[in-house]
Structure 1
Amino acid sequence: MRHTIRGLVGAGLIGLGLLGAATLPARADTDIKFALDWKFEGPSAPYFVAIDKGYYKAEGLNVTVDTGPGSVAGIARVAAGTYPLGFFDINSLVKFRDQNPDKAVKAVLMVYDTPPFAIVTLSKTGIAKPKDLEGKILGAPAPDGAFAQWKAFVKENAIDADKVKIENVGFPVREPMLAEGKVDAITGFSFSSYFNLLQKGVKPDDIKVMLMSDHGLVLYGNAVIVNPDFAKAHPKEVAGFVRATIKGIIETARDPEAAIKSVMKRNETGDEKIELARLKMALKDNMITAWVTKNGVGDVDMDRLGKSIEQIAVTYDFKAKPTAVDIFTSEYLPPAAERMVK
């Protein structure tokens, strides 16, 4: 009898335990608002792949992705905490940190190992190398991230800047003005200007893209940056976001044709063929470079980052120049073995 009572009591306690476990609320996922630099276009695929494949969910994160105002302007939104995480130009972050030393925004995941900063022209202009810009008209929006590097590009390629006429043009008319011959070349993101020109009826063979990274610039491009208060309060969530995003990048590189479907579900007015081609260009030129293939997705060479800050000094007068460790931290990255593109 004693054993029976013990058994009944034990069964009752187990039952209560099961009942209690069943009635406990499931752990709520952490909501994270993530800001892109621009629209839902091909290069944004990794984040949507990470959502659709459940990579963020597996880290206990409920991620929503918003479009952004450009690779520069959105940094202030992360600094203010409007967005805990965002995807913006690391070179602009260097300047932001100099101007706002009390706002310790940092990059935690490098996405564009080389930036898409480019000079774009047409074959009829005869511009084949940087020096050929002399005597020509360069259309450049004043706030353009690529144009921000102009002085460094001039220095690295011994261009006589006085012989280049700079015309401040708006973003919407930049490619149309080049297509119409009103300017001889433009500054812009390679995978934006190229496909914008295609949509204006320019033939692919007539478009010439001169990547600044192929002509002396050692700069990095866009990275995932984090609000310092959020990082301090939620280090596991930041690490989880980084880990899931890396999985999204690797999966996108493995199968871009499938990845683009995740973008097009959220951009019903876009042209899938163009966005896939845009994504493949970004993967080849900016995301999966030789260095990334060897060292894994997401990290930086701190010596190179330091040199890039020195190069930014050619185009910008620092008050208190930040160092590489002020700008980037690898503390949230998973081990290199988990970051390799296979």
Structure 2
Amino acid sequence: MSCRIGRAIAAAIGAGALLAACSTTPAGQQASGGATSAAPGAPQKVTLQLQWFTQGQFAGYFAAIDQGYYSEKGLDVTIKEGGVDIVPQTVLAQGQADYAIAWVPKALASREQGAGITDVAQVFQRSGTRQVSFADKGITSPAQFAGKKIGNWGFGNEFELFAGMTKAGLTPADVTLVQQQFDMQALLSGEIDAAQAMSYNEYAQVLEATNPATGQLYQPSDFSVVDWNTDGTAMLQDAIWANTEKLSDPAYADQTVRFIAASLKGWAYCRDNVEACRDIVVRAGSKLGASHQLWQVNEVNKLIWPSPAAGAGTIDPALWAQTVSVARTAVNADGQTVLTKDPDAQAYSNDYVTKAVEMLKAEGVDVVGASYAPQTVTLNPGGN
């Protein structure tokens, strides 16, 4: 799952955050695309804060360590694992990390409240959020949520759901909203009719469960899925965020370019080596099983590839505007929106990712993945 902590606990930094100890091997790197080369000698120490626990959602960053891509760029990267009490954009804004992975609307809410952070690379080009129901419920569109028990995590993760309902002419009063736990047990037990799920995590959990009617694992045909990308109310999710004030420092700006380049190279590796990245994540300490991680890496690749013609990580102004619109207009059951005003011009920048993409092109890295095709993954019981 992704970070599901919103403004209600935005001050919680969680002193007990787990660490996924990851370091690169010192090395220098010739830079291109406008970036200067790293100084010889010891590499620059960089800390990346994840928004959730170690899993395939972050495979590209672990791969960049495992394959030496960060060290090629003169960086010694430590990855800090996220968790329920970790707000990555706040960790970044308070100087406890150099970069953070966070969903765009949540990070923008923090920015609206004063956090000095900038989206410098939009890794996920599509939303992974879904609403899943048993097929026999006949729920194939938001309009059919009326009168049903609808699960959601809250904390700002529900705004795609409410935007979809609004578009279908429904209000929160037209459904029974259920505070959903971070799993699919309430759906499987029949306590709710449609559950919130990430395509790369919770949806796999229902396919890893045994159908009591057959004694076999559930199949995709047993479920109906509402995809907010198709509905037109999707919001941008995992992005690399940097410290806005520090970006005015040429050294940090250069480091940012190199960090983005190595990270995107890691994601390109995972696009072309799904099983290897599954193994990398498992070795890094994932608490979920191998088949679940293979599913995750495969599904996350679908959210990244193919990338825009300008290259992976490029921020599409139209998708950004859609995210802002949903964040400003979708009202939850408490009458709140994620944002109260449009973000300022420094909320995102394509300057750094453009240089990073140029650097990777010079190395012969495919930064678009136009011919990308996902694998077919077979899940095992419990995701093992």
TM-score when normalising by structure 2:
0.74
Distance in 1 of aligned mates of 2:279 and 2:226: 29
Partner of 2:226: 210
- Pair 1:280-2:295 in alignment: no
1:157 equivalent to 2:173? Answer: no
Identity rate, percent: 19
CA positional deviation for 1:318: 4.3
Given candidates 178, 187, 190, the residue that maps to 1:181 is 190
More helix by share: 1
Amino acid at match of 1:211: D
Confirm or deny: 8 A CA contact 1:144 1:187 kept in the other structure: no
Structure 1 unmatched runs, 5+? 1-24
Amino acid at match of 2:232: G
- Give the Cα separation in 2 of the matches to 1:235 and 1:105: 13
Taking structure 1 as reference, are residues 107 and 48 closer, same or farther at Cα in structure 2, changes over 3 Å only? Answer: same
Whichever of the two has the greater Rg, that structure is: 1
Whole-Å separation in 1 of the counterparts to 2:66 and 2:90:
28
- Within 5 Å, give how 1:283-302 maps onto structure 2: 283-284=301-302, 286-289=303-306, 292=307, 294-302=309-317
Match for residue 41 of structure 1? 55
Instruction: Pick closer, same or farther for the CA change 1:208–1:295 going to 2, 3 Å.
Output: farther
Specify the code of the residue in structure 1 equivalent to 2:147.
G
Question: C-alpha displacement at 1:121, in angstroms?
Answer: 1.5
- Of the candidates 269, 277, 295, which is equivalent to residue 259 of structure 1? 277
Partner of 1:198: 207
> Higher mean Cα deviation, 295-304 or 198-207?
198-207
| C-alpha distance in structure 1 between counterparts of 2:338 and 2:291, whole Å | 42
8 Å contact kept, 2:244–2:346:
no
SS in 1 for 2:45: strand
Query: Residue 138 of structure 1 corresponds to which residue in structure 2?
Result: 150
Residue 242 of structure 1 aligns to a residue in which SS? helix
Match of 1:341 in 2: 369
Q: Does the CA contact (< 8 Å) of 2:54 and 2:287 recur in 1?
A: no
Q: Name the residue aligned to 1:222.
A: 238
1:65 aligns with 2:79: yes
- Residues 1:321 and 2:342 aligned together: yes
* 1:311 paired to 2:322: no
- Where 1:45 maps in the other structure, the secondary structure is helix
Name the TM-score, length of structure 1 as normaliser: 0.83
Q: CA deviation at 1:256?
A: 1.0
Q: Once superposed, what is the RMSD of the aligned Cα atoms? A: 2.3
Distance 1:314 1:144 in 2: 13
Aligned to 1:16: none
CA deviation vs aligned residue, 1:13-51 (integer Å, no higher than 9, x gap): xxxxxxxxxxxx961111111111112212211111111
Q: Which amino acid letter does the alignment assign opposite residue 307 of structure 1? A: Q
* Paired residues, number: 309
Per the alignment, residue 20 of structure 1 pairs with none
Distance 1:226 1:188 in 2: 28
